[in-house]
Amino acid sequence: MKSVTLGILCIVFIAAAVRGISVEDCPLTISRDVYLQVFQEYCYEFVLYRDLEFDTAKDDCRSRGGDLVKIFDRATQDFLYKELRETYGQTDEVWIGLTDKNAEDTWEWMDGT
């Protein structure tokens, strides 16, 4: 895999049973700023203000109790795309939890799925 630096999307799982969470329910390790968004039961940090290599991006998310984002469904995909484009004006690529580290051009989520 070639070395590339990109912005990242971190996700923090709060709790499936919790409904109607706000950014105040997100872990305190995440700054309360314009880059923090909540969708369904997840806190999303849009780390677009610095570029990192994939492994550094993954470690950065994990150091704050999260991980690179895994897109579970179309609604999440649409939310992330809309926020990246419309809210943040991001047209460049960003790191998510999809990797081809086990086999070049064979993409899988970091959990192996």
pLDDT in tens, 76-94: 999 999 999 999 998 888 8
pTM score, two decimals?
0.81
pLDDT in tens, 17-48: 446 788 888 888 888 999 899 998 889 999 88
DSSP characters for 24-37? GGS-TTS--STTEE
- What the block records as the tokens of 29 is 């390790």
CATH architecture, domain defined by 6-109: Roll (3.10)
